[in-house]
């Protein structure tokens, strides 16, 4: 079980309003008490902070906002004492434009690192630096063209994300060697693994062909950059240069937008896969409209079909990661559950659904206490560049209706996940004594760690139980998976089975009472866990109450 920390928003030890490494170290007990096995730290490296650290200017320095290398080493050793592994974020599809490599590369066409990034001339017949002269029609993840003009070189550079995140040229062996050297240096410092940011975008199709306009009228680079021709080759080389021959297993999880189950099986294959697991995006894209800010209701049957397919496709030789939240996604209890009347029930229902599937579960900071989306008043309350640039492109420079765009941002902005961790009911949620860089959610007075720490009926206590089950019961780790009641649009149910022993998980994803589907009923049932605070246990045939989850063990048949 892996716990994700977003350092800016976790705990601020020095009152400057930004989370830091001593803050994380001071709260590692919380993560260990939860029962997690590892902590994944979103980037802590030196960065101008255009994308909150996903734009790195020095891979081997700690950003002064977060602390020093000594602070990092103290964090690692405290984690070690608590039995927690540490997984670092590895952002090597791109660097910051303020990285020394890029500064050199941009200075002249014949500079030392001229070929370390992806440079192209203007479109033939066009004068560079003017709209329409870009080498192709690709639109960036963060709105606008993927190309920025540099007069010193009279060329454009490629950036799939912001203009301050130029893409590295992985074709260049010196670039790859430098990345492997840097990764080795972190492993030598004692880190236990890497979460690899958009790793499946590192190999681009030669020629960088135009994209085809999608539902929003914009051309995405995706078909020409996802799982490109040399991607797997690069990962194998990385494995050889960095991971092979070390005396401990290094955990690797690739972030892989648009990956298919076939891609994922190749990447995580038990014998030949270069990665342990990947973060796929299918299930978190089902409720997107033309853009991710067109918030559509979730179709539960589609979610089950999707997650069921991934379970099935990776069952034999691959391995899944299991996540509903991270620093890029809104809070799941607000998105798919009910953050009002059935807040507790739906937070624990979603947790049950996720944690008992086959794969490695991820808990994003605050998810374990049922943190919800925040209340953003106007555009000035947001900090995330994706959000701000989307607003600028569609409202300030476009003709979209501001009310509609704002609704989408409130529901889906990444800032929902980035509000300060809610430690207690004091000012700023106990996150900082100073004004936080992003306001704390006003509901911190009710939803916080202190209020739940000793309450056996809290969301936090429920998470501990779920994580405990995985650690105690081999069936949860190794058992096979079968979806039950696939056609039900209210109930998410499945069976896990190992050596004749089985577990049935039945979760009501609705605020209504619903009958237990016929294929979920078993003889010789034994109650394992339920999420109703009062009367958790009811006769097996009783209808499911709103957002009720039941975990049942089924003995070996005679």
The catalytic residue positions are: 197, 255
The single residue among 153, 263, 292, 304 that binds ligand TEU, judged by CB under 6 A, is: 292
3-state secondary structure of 48: coil
The single residue among 3, 10, 76, 141 that binds ligand TEU, judged by CB under 6 A, is: 141
- Give min distance, CB of 132 to ligand TEU, in A: 26
Distance between CA atoms of 536 and 548, rounded to whole angstroms? 9
> For residue 64, what is the DSSP state?
T
Binding string, residues 90-109; x marks residues near ligand TEU by CB under 6 A: -x------------------
Would you state the structure tokens that stand for residue 479, as one six-digit string? 């058992």
Q: Which is nearer to ligand TEU, 37 or 386 (CB)?
A: 386
- Angle, helices 343-355 vs 459-472, to 10°: value is 20
Strands 549-554 and 193-196: unpaired
Chain center to CA of 558: 44
Binding string, residues 34-53; x marks residues near ligand TEU by CB under 6 A: -----------------x--
- Sequence-ordered strand ranges (E) for 48-146: 58-62, 85-90, 119-120
Chain center to CA of 519: 33
Distance between CA atoms of 242 and 511, rounded to whole angstroms? 50
- Give min distance, CB of 532 to ligand TEU, in A: 35
CA atoms within 13 A on the CB side of 40: 26
Label residue 494 exposed, middle or buried (CB < 10 Å: 0-12, 13-18, 19+).
buried
Binding string, residues 517-556; x marks residues near ligand TEU by CB under 6 A: ----------------------------------------
Residue 372 CB: number of other CB atoms within 10 A? 23
Q: Are 295 and 412 in contact (CB under 8 A)?
A: yes
> Which positions ≥6 away from 219 have C-beta within 8 Å?
137, 138, 139, 210, 211, 212, 213
- Give min distance, CB of 95 to ligand TEU, in A: 10
Q: Which is nearer to ligand TEU, 220 or 441 (CB)?
A: 220
From residue 439, give the alpha-carbon distance in Å to each of 9, 411, 423: 10, 17, 14
3-class secondary structure for 120-172? ECCCCCCCCCCCCCCCCCCECCCCCECEEEECCCCEEEECCCCCCCCEECCCC
Q: Which is nearer to ligand TEU, 360 or 416 (CB)?
A: 416
Q: Of the candidates 53, 24, 118, which has an alpha carbon nearest to the alpha carbon of residue 421? A: 24
Interacting positions 300-359 with ligand TEU (CB under 6 A): 327-328
282 touches ligand TEU (CB under 6 A):
no
Residues in contact with ligand TEU, counted by CB under 6 A, come to a total of 14
Residue in the block written with tokens 């379970």: 311
Q: Which is nearer to ligand TEU, 160 or 406 (CB)?
A: 160
- Give min distance, CB of 251 to ligand TEU, in A: 17
Binding string, residues 54-93; x marks residues near ligand TEU by CB under 6 A: x------------------------------------x--
Q: Which residues pair with 230 in a beta bridge?
A: none
Q: Which is nearer to ligand TEU, 30 or 195 (CB)?
A: 195
3-state secondary structure of 445: helix
Distance between CA atoms of 4 and 184, rounded to whole angstroms? 22
Q: Which is nearer to ligand TEU, 71 or 255 (CB)?
A: 255
- Give min distance, CB of 83 to ligand TEU, in A: 27
Distance between CA atoms of 518 and 510, rounded to whole angstroms? 18
Distance between CA atoms of 398 and 338, rounded to whole angstroms? 33
Interacting positions 207-266 with ligand TEU (CB under 6 A): 255, 257
- Give min distance, CB of 162 to ligand TEU, in A: 8
161 touches ligand TEU (CB under 6 A):
yes
From residue 85, give the alpha-carbon distance in Å to each of 138, 192, 356: 39, 6, 22
414 touches ligand TEU (CB under 6 A):
yes
The single residue among 345, 386, 439, 548 that binds ligand TEU, judged by CB under 6 A, is: 386
Would you state the structure tokens that stand for residue 491, as one six-digit string? 């109930």
Q: Which is nearer to ligand TEU, 54 or 532 (CB)?
A: 54
The single residue among 79, 92, 198, 208 that binds ligand TEU, judged by CB under 6 A, is: 198
27 touches ligand TEU (CB under 6 A):
no
- Give min distance, CB of 43 to ligand TEU, in A: 9
- Give min distance, CB of 414 to ligand TEU, in A: 5
Q: Which is nearer to ligand TEU, 161 or 231 (CB)?
A: 161
Q: Which is nearer to ligand TEU, 255 or 338 (CB)?
A: 255
Q: Are 102 and 159 in contact (CB under 8 A)?
A: no
Q: Which is nearer to ligand TEU, 144 or 517 (CB)?
A: 144
Q: Which positions touch ligand TEU (CB under 6 A)?
A: 51, 54, 91, 141, 161, 197-198, 255, 257, 292, 327-328, 386, 414
């Amino acid at each position: 079980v892996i716990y994700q920390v977003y350092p800016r928003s976790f705990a601020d030890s020095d009152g400057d309003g930004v989370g830091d490494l001593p803050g994380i170290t001071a709260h590692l007990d919380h993560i260990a008490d939860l029962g997690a096995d590892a902590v994944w730290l979103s980037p802590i490296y030196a960065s101008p902070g255009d994308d909150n650290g996903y734009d790195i200017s020095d891979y081997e320095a700690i950003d002064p906002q977060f602390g020093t290398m000594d602070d990092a080493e103290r964090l690692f050793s405290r984690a070690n004492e608590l039995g927690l592994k540490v997984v670092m974020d590895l952002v090597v599809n791109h660097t910051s434009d303020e990285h020394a490599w890029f500064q050199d590369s941009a200075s002249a066409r014949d500079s030392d690192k001229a070929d370390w990034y992806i440079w192209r001339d203007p479109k033939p017949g066009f004068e560079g630096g003017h709209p329409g002269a870009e080498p192709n029609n690709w639109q960036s993840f963060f709105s606008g063209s993927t190309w920025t003009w540099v007069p010193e070189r009279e060329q454009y550079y490629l950036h799939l994300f912001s203009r301050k995140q130029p893409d590295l040229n992985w074709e260049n062996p010196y670039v790859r060697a430098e990345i492997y050297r840097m990764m080795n240096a972190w492993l030598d410092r004692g880190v236990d693994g890497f979460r690899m940011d958009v790793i499946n975008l590192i190999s681009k199709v030669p020629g960088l062909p135009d994209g085809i306009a999608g539902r929003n009228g914009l051309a995405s680079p995706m078909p020409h950059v996802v799982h490109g021709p040399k991607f797997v080759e690069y990962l194998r080389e990385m494995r050889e240069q960095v991971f092979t021959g070390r005396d401990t297993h290094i955990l690797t999880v690739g972030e892989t937008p648009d990956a298919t189950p076939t891609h994922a099986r190749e990447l995580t294959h038990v014998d030949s896969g270069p990665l342990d697991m990947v973060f796929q995006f299918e299930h978190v894209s089902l409720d997107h409209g033309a853009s991710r800010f067109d918030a559509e209701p979730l179709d539960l049957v589609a979610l089950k079909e999707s997650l069921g397919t991934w379970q099935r496709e990776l069952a034999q030789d691959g391995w899944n990661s299991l996540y509903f939240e991270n620093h890029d996604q809104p809070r799941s209890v607000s998105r798919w559950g009910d953050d009002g009347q059935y807040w507790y029930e739906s937070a624990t229902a979603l947790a049950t659904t996720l944690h008992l599937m086959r794969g490695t579960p991820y808990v994003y900071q605050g998810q374990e206490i049922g943190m919800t989306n925040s209340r953003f008043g106007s555009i000035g309350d947001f900090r995330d560049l994706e959000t701000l640039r989307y607003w600028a492109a569609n409202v300030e420079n476009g003709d979209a209706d501001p009310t509609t765009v704002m609704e989408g941002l409130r529901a889906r902005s990444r800032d929902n996940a980035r509000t300060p961790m809610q430690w207690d009911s004091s000012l700023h949620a106990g996150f900082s004594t100073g004004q936080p860089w992003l306001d704390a959610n006003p509901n911190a007075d009710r939803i916080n760690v202190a209020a739940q720490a000793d309450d056996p009926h809290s969301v936090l206590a429920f998470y501990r139980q779920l994580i405990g089950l995985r650690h105690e019961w081999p069936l949860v780790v190794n058992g096979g998976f079968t979806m039950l009641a696939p056609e039900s649009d209210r109930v998410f149910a499945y069976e896990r089975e190992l050596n004749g022993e089985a577990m049935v998980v039945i979760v009501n994803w609705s605020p209504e009472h619903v009958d237990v589907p016929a294929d979920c009923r078993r003889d010789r049932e034994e109650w394992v866990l339920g999420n109703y605070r009062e009367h958790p246990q009811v006769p097996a045939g009783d209808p499911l109450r709103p957002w009720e989850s039941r975990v049942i063990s089924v003995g070996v048949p005679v």
